[in-house]
Amino acid sequence: MDCCRNKRSIFSYFKNGISKSQCDEREKQSKKRKLVLVGTPNVGKSVIFNYLTGSYVTVSNYPGTTVEVSRGTSKIGNELYEVIDTPGMYSLIPITEEERVTRTLLLEEEPDIVVHVVDAKNLERMLPLTLQLIEAGLPVMLVVNMMDEAERIGRTIDIEKLSRILGIPVAATAAAINRGMTEFKRKVAEYGEKRAA
């Protein structure tokens, strides 16, 4: 349902009109660590974003574009993170404006952690982006979401092994039913510490 992915951000676009003053906050956030969420539409990215950030979220147009990007703050481990939710992305080679913005954002924002969220049922077609992100030298970690739905179709995934093969941290979650989220947060904190060291 990728066609619908804009809808919420478009409403937020209006909300942005009211919350302009909050933009100044971004200046203050510059000392925080940065975590960027990427992934295709419909993998539960926004649920994870909401879980991390709670209600203090600002939405703004990415400079010079009509694409909206949400930003919030989250305390993960002992550190404050600026969490950025990006529009849907299928591949590192952009086709749509949304994807172009996401890639630019990955370049410009210099994130401390890039969290790639994927659908456990469709790992086959989502893992190529993980490989591309790793290949690009970005600090990637993988979230295999919708584990419950994958289990329902009889699929089990060896998360440890996947993490070993890819050489990056991997978390398994079912964000919609709040499963694995604490563990995911712990892995982010751990990765953040390791990267900072």
Partner 1 sequence: MVAKDSGVNLTELGVGEKATILRIDAKDKKTLNKLMALGVLPGMTVMLMQKFPSLVFKVGNTRIAADEAISKNIIVMKN
Partner 2 sequence: MARKEPLEYHDFNTHRNFNEIEKAARDIEVLLKSDYRLSKRSIALLLLQEDEEITALVRRKEKDFDTIDKIIQKTRKACPEPLQYLITLERQSKVDRILREVISAREKRESSFEQWLDDITIKPLTGVPLLFLVLYFGLYKFVGQFGAGTVVDFIEGNIFEAYVNPWINHIVVSLIPYKPIQQLLALDYGIITLGIRYAVAIILPIVGTFFLVFSIIEDSGYLPRLALLVDRVFKKIGLNGRAVIPMTLGFGCDTMATLVSRTLETRRERIIATLLLALAIPCSAQLGVILALLSGRPYAMGVWVGFILLVFLFIGYLTAKILPGERPSFYMEVPPLRMPKISNVLEKTFSRMQWYFLEIVPMFILASVLIWFGKMTGLFDMIVHALAPVMNAMGLPEKAAEAFLFGFFRRDYGAAGLYDLQKSGALNGVQMVVASATLTLFVPCIAQFSIMVKERGVKTALAIVGFIVPFAFISGVALNWVLNTLGVTL
Binding site for partner 2 (CB under 8 A): 1-4, 6-8, 10-15, 17-18, 42, 47, 66, 91-94, 100, 103, 107, 110, 123-124, 127-128, 131-132, 134-138, 149, 152-159, 161-162, 164-167, 176
How far apart CA 141 and CA 129 sit, in angstroms, is 12
**Straight-line distance from the first to the last Cα atom of the chain, in angstroms, rounded to the nearest whole number:** 40
Region 106-165 residues binding partner 1, contact defined as CB under 8 A: 121-122, 124-125, 153
- Please report, as a single letter, which amino acid is at residue 197: A
How far apart CA 63 and CA 109 sit, in angstroms, is 13
Q: How far is the CB of 28 from partner 1 (least distance, A)?
A: 37
User: Which of partner 1, partner 2, none sits in contact with 189, Cβ below 5 to 8 A by type?
Assistant: none
How far apart CA 167 and CA 153 sit, in angstroms, is 27
Inter-residue contact 105 to 86 (CB < 8 Å): yes
* Binding residue for partner 1, selected from 40, 46, 74, 145, defined by CB under 8 A: 40
Structure tokens at 113: 């952690």
Q: Given the rule CB under 8 A, which residues bind partner 1?
A: 40, 90-91, 93, 95, 121-122, 124-125, 153
